[in-house]
Structure 1
Amino acid sequence: MKNEIFSYDSRLGIHLPRFSKDWPSYSSEEQEIILLEWERVRGMIPDRIQEIEVEIDRLQGELSQEENFERSCMINGEISERASEINDLWIWYRTTPAKTQRGMM
């Protein structure tokens, strides 16, 4: 079931939940499996953020040396995209679903 729920998001570099039905429709056992997998994925998010921060640092170093305006704009765009990825990862990291009587996320 794990592979049915979680799919790899290449932009963020992690697996994200993709529900095919409403959270309350999952059985208590299914919810528990999903929550355990989410906690595993969630635990990897800070490391992923750190990887992106290293990439941003590299790009900023490249930007500080770049003299070509068009190339500077491209690098700046890449930095902006990486920062957006970090923002999205923090949003996912703060997502803390809970198991409910019948289920809820």
Structure 2
Amino acid sequence: MDNFFSFNERLGISIPDLQKSWDVYTHEEQQEILVTWEKIRGRIPDRIAELENEINHKQSELDNEGDFPRSCRLNSEISDLASIINDLWLWYRTNQDVSTKVHM
């Protein structure tokens, strides 16, 4: 199954990495891919919660930070984490229809 997914360091999850057109895969491969993706997709909300906790921690640090350069770094880190969360939600929502294909 590793052939069909690659781990994305930035997102912290594996994402589909299909090298061929969907129709070229056998029915069994398609089902295996879909089931695996649904398992990965099901963990996305947990990954988002982890990142939100990191943001909350950094915001708490920012509230008490008097050093301007450090405040800028924290703001940048918060922005990066928010961007990752946005991308994770896109992956999660874009593939909502996959679960219906799994049960076909």
TM (norm. structure 1) is 0.89
- How much has 1:30 moved relative to structure 2? 0.7
> What secondary structure is seen at the aligned counterpart in 2 of 1:20?
coil
Distance 1:76 1:18 in 2: 32
The runs of 5 or more residues in structure 2 that have no matched partner are none
- How much has 1:24 moved relative to structure 2? 1.7
How many positions carry a matched residue from both structures? Answer: 98
Q: Provide Cα deviations, 1:53-72, integer angstroms capped at 9, x if missing partner.
A: 00000000011111111111
* Runs of 4+ residues deviating >6 angstroms: none
- How much has 1:45 moved relative to structure 2? 0.3
Distance 2:71 2:21 in 1: 45
Q: Which of the two has greater helix per residue?
A: 2
Equivalent residue, structure 2, for 1:37:
36
Q: Provide Cα deviations, 1:23-66, integer angstroms capped at 9, x if missing partner.
A: 12211111100000000000000000000000000000011111
Distance 2:23 2:71 in 1: 49
> What secondary structure is seen at the aligned counterpart in 1 of 2:6?
strand
- How much has 1:85 moved relative to structure 2? 0.5
Equivalent residue, structure 2, for 1:7:
6
Q: Report 1:72-87 matches (<5 A).
A: 72-87=71-86
Whichever residue aligns with residue 81 of structure 1, its letter is D
The runs of 5 or more residues in structure 1 that have no matched partner are 100-105
> What secondary structure is seen at the aligned counterpart in 1 of 2:60?
helix
